Structure 1
Amino acid sequence: MNSERRPLFEGAFSADGIFIRADLLIPEGTGWHLVEVKSSTKVKPYQQEDAAIQKYVLQNAGVSVVRTSLAVIDTEFIYQGGGDYAGLLRRVDVTDSVSRLAVLVAEWGRNAGVVLSQPEPSVETGKQCTEPHECQFRAYCSAGSNAALFPVSILPNSYHLAEKLRGEGYEDIRDVPESRLTNPIHMRIHRVTCSGQAELDVAAQSILSTLPWPRRYIDFETLGEAVPRWPGTRPFQQIPFQWSCHTEYSDGRLHHEGFLAPYDGGDPRLAFLHTLLKVCGTDGPLLVWNASFERTRIRELAQVFEEYRTPLSALESRMVDLLPIARNHYYHREMRGSWSIKSVLPTIAPELKYDELDIGDGGGAQRAYAQLLDPEMPFDRKSDIAEALKVYCERDTLAMVRVAQYFGEG
């Protein structure tokens, strides 16, 4: 560093028993500009604490840090192609705030040393286990504890209520007096959890009985990466690459079709759009789970491919969301406060499992498609991944069929 003044990436330093790797050090005057790169779109408090630790170690290792910045993703950046990513990262100067925090690092280090020198501490799990990120040891710390089987925290949108109930000594929903709850959904969760008997309102059957035939159940998979791959796309933009569609007829017949975009590196959106319009036809309801996701993708496609705006808008108008039907009219205590399709399905069709699949959730699907786009991956491995993606997406729409059939039977 003294003999060759050039940018240094992932430089390793140690001081006072603390080891770091600095993302980027840029020569500036007689000192160095420390840049920590983050995948978030704005600066967060814990990131400044991270940078403060970096600065403390660097300076105690003899490196003069004259400026500190956090580089975050600029969501206004639009990739123009050709590998030019200038402007993807936006630097935010945090020199002053990091300097104030850096004087605390020595005490942080001493406290950490004290903890490490002692036997394993006994600390109840709580808010600190999930903020700002979920701790990797959460399952370990919870194992063998007297944790509530149905904790009050599963009540949806009720952080403050759950805190208050815990403060009053109520850890398990079953112990909470019925009079303490006023929200109808909370009351249903309490009632079903206490009784152990699932509830399904006849209103769900009434809603579904009005839907004409054929009924198509559709689901999308998307790829949203920090570094956009295709010209005209932004960081974290959700690019659809796969759909599944089960078509249910009035006589009980069920037909499945699916699409997985080619993984040759090209933009998958136009092929996705063409095949989706073909399979959905021009009439009949399109049943989805959490329609806001699919509707947003449809609108985004219509903005990019304006010549398809009319048929895409027609698709959006035909969508029927199963999620609010489930949320308002069905609950099983094993759903534990969640109405995701993966929480509802096991209570209705336990034979349709996700944990037996090679890909079990949307995040896994994103990672799998990103792997398919890797030109270095062997062809036979790509074939296995592609098949796993098809099986997973098909399971999502089959799950909706089974849930809708259950609701329709009342």
Structure 2
Amino acid sequence: MAQQLWRADSQHPQDAGRRMTTPHLSKSLLNNYRQCPRRLWLEMQDRAARKKGLAPVAQAVYSADTTKRFLDGHVIGRIAQACWSEGVDIEKASWITDEDTGQRQRDLNYATHLTYQWMQDQRRPLFEATFQHQNLLVMADVMVPRRHGHRVYWQMIEVKSSTTPKDYHITDLATQAWVAEQSGVDLDSVALLLVNKGFELHTAGDYTGLLGLHDDPDLQAQVRQAQQQMPTTLRGAAQTLALRQEPRKHQPGDQCTSPFECPYIGHCTEKTTGQTTGKTAKQTTPQPVPIRFYNDRGGAKAQTLIDAGHTDLRQVPPATIARLWNGSTDTHGVNQRLAQAVRTGRVVMDRAGAQAALQTLSWPVQHLDFETISFIAPVWPGTQSGQHIPFQYSLHRQAQSGQVLGHAEFLDTTGQDPRRALAEQLVKDIDPRCTVLAWNDSFERAVIRDLAEQFAELRKPLMRIHDQVQDLLPIVRRHYFHPNMAQAEGSTFSIKTVLPCMAAHLQYSQLGTVQNGGEAQLAYLLAAAPPGAEKEPGQTITPAERQQARKDLLAYCGLDTEAMVEIVKSLK
């Protein structure tokens, strides 16, 4: 190595955290800058405020999907390290005890010292090897020594819980490799360690074959090319951090959710009239209704109106809408109703058409909703990476008069494979004479079909249920539109969008910690705690946490089918 990472005259590592400052930027922070400079600025302001005990300019809010992705990353990282049994974990070894407080804390300066020491050994792979150059510090997932003649080089491996390479994987590797090489490390190649799609677990805990190494020449060239942008990227990040005011010129756009949702998206999309002073609350400014349509591929038709000078969907003449959406398909009909509802501010509903569609069902109907969990590293034998495993369902029975006749539910939180118990109970609960209604039935059908393929002795009754399933969503889509649906944050016809429009007394926001499918997965991990899926082995979950998670799961899944009951009442 051309350059030492730790000065020979350094003091004891326990003194390093007090004597040296932590670098300002990490790989993650630099990625935040690449996504949006405003995100980086807000995150650094947030950190500085928390350190001083002050309120941040904006509060980061991480979605359940983001949290689940972090968890998957921890699990895959742990499995990856098991591929090199002789590896040295720099991260684990760099925790020290503060002499003043007695608290354990990570000392990144000591981590660079340990990295240098073990790289001198030149024989053992390193996990979380830590490198610093200027004000940028990175930790490489895996560093593997490779001997070429009398000289040792290193392969840098980035571990990802993905099945295919992504653009941000390249910039991740470029950042890591650039800092390592600037620190004097001789790299001979870089690589991605990715999940093999379709991996099936045969023996609990045996993940042989789950991960595959990708180190082809194209990857090397892409990383080298991306490294050339590093000085420019660092300068831009430094300029952003030097700003005294929030860089509001970076307005919300596609970057807010690419490659992942920004935790400050709520802050940046907040619409107010001026500043809040004293006890005066923020006042909402009436905003134009954006030009946006349902199922408008590429936003082409919306762009046609924008190019013609339209800025508010309410102001677009009916004749213009009629020319734009003049077909007879569902999409054209939906957008005609959408534009009418927005323009008039009133619900557009074809009650006779909705009632006629409901009349074709076999009553009493049974409203069914599943909750599933997927593991990037499967935990139960016979399951695959990314497979949706059902662990819960809710079933409401409703008479043609609208009356609720009963409610059945299933939730397995034993931590064992829940599929057989769920399938057996489902067969008992479903009346074979009556229609089963789902919201976007392709998901429920797929779950039932997978269960039928797994359990041959239950195949016949399960496929009978499969064939009973019909979709409530198209009935709503063809016959109903509320003005608020045009500006919904989520999908126009998500049940969470439609429900408050039809039954204002029922709100997902009134639920506890589980208000969407991503949060349901996290709650299941708390309630069931299946071995192998935890962030850290031996993670402690209290009985109270398990009980609350189970309670929240039952409430959430129950509301999904209660919502369908209320929607049917509204249509009738």
State the TM-score bracket (shorter-chain normalisation): over 0.9
Whether 2:336 is the aligned partner of 1:187: answer yes
Give unmatched runs, 5+ long, in structure 2.
1-117, 273-284, 326-331, 532-539
In 2, Cα distance between equivalents of 1:319 and 1:142: 39
What corresponds to 2:102 in structure 1?
none
Q: Which moved more, 1:390-399 or 1:205-214?
A: 205-214
Post-superposition shift, 1:154?
5.6
**One-letter amino acid of the structure 1 residue matched with residue 405 of structure 2:** L
**One-letter amino acid of the structure 1 residue matched with residue 130 of structure 2:** A
In 1, Cα distance between equivalents of 2:265 and 2:291: 18
* Residue of 511, 516, 520 corresponding to 1:361: 516
**One-letter amino acid of the structure 1 residue matched with residue 558 of structure 2:** E
- Counterpart secondary structure, 1:10: strand
Q: What per-residue deviation string (whole Å, max 9, x for no partner) do you get for residues 7-30 of structure 1?
A: 222233221322222222122221
| Contact in 2 for aligned 1:12/1:21 (Cα 8 Å) | yes
What corresponds to 2:545 in structure 1?
381
Closer, same or farther: CA 131–147 of 1 in aligned 2, 3 Å: farther
Q: Which moved more, 1:82-91 or 1:340-349?
A: 82-91
What corresponds to 1:151 in structure 2?
290
Q: Which has the larger radius of gyration?
A: 2
Whether 2:551 is the aligned partner of 1:400: answer no
Closer, same or farther: CA 395–149 of 1 in aligned 2, 3 Å: farther
| Contact in 2 for aligned 1:222/1:242 (Cα 8 Å) | yes
Q: What per-residue deviation string (whole Å, max 9, x for no partner) do you get for residues 29-49 of structure 1?
A: 212111112222211112211
Closer, same or farther: CA 154–105 of 1 in aligned 2, 3 Å: farther
| Contact in 2 for aligned 1:24/1:36 (Cα 8 Å) | yes
What corresponds to 2:467 in structure 1?
317
Closer, same or farther: CA 149–362 of 1 in aligned 2, 3 Å: farther
Q: What per-residue deviation string (whole Å, max 9, x for no partner) do you get for residues 325-361 of structure 1?
A: 1112111011236111110000111111111111111
Post-superposition shift, 1:291?
0.3
What corresponds to 1:33 in structure 2?
155
Q: Which moved more, 1:308-317 or 1:25-34?
A: 25-34
- Counterpart secondary structure, 1:136: coil
In 1, Cα distance between equivalents of 2:228 and 2:167: 16
What corresponds to 1:128 in structure 2?
255
* Residue of 246, 252, 255 corresponding to 2:406: 255
Instruction: Give the paired residue count.
Output: 407
Q: CA RMSD in A?
A: 2.0
Where do residues 274-353 of structure 1 align in structure 2 (5 Å cutoff)?
Answer: 274-336=424-486, 338-353=492-507
Q: Which moved more, 1:58-67 or 1:175-184?
A: 175-184
In 2, Cα distance between equivalents of 1:300 and 1:149: 46
**One-letter amino acid of the structure 2 residue matched with residue 234 of structure 1:** Q
**One-letter amino acid of the structure 1 residue matched with residue 497 of structure 2:** S
| Contact in 2 for aligned 1:153/1:159 (Cα 8 Å) | no
Q: Which moved more, 1:131-140 or 1:66-75?
A: 131-140
Post-superposition shift, 1:62?
1.6
| Contact in 1 for aligned 2:499/2:567 (Cα 8 Å) | yes
TM-score between the two structures when normalised by the length of structure 2: 0.68
In 2, Cα distance between equivalents of 1:284 and 1:51: 55
Q: What per-residue deviation string (whole Å, max 9, x for no partner) do you get for residues 241-281 of structure 1?
A: 001011113463421111101x2321100000000110002
In 2, Cα distance between equivalents of 1:224 and 1:31: 38
Q: What per-residue deviation string (whole Å, max 9, x for no partner) do you get for residues 96-130 of structure 1?
A: 21112112211211122222223432233222323
Whether 2:178 is the aligned partner of 1:56: answer yes
TM-score between the two structures when normalised by the length of structure 1: 0.93
What corresponds to 2:346 in structure 1?
197
In 1, Cα distance between equivalents of 2:229 and 2:307: 32
| Contact in 1 for aligned 2:363/2:399 (Cα 8 Å) | yes
In 2, Cα distance between equivalents of 1:164 and 1:249: 46
What corresponds to 2:43 in structure 1?
none
| Contact in 2 for aligned 1:148/1:171 (Cα 8 Å) | no
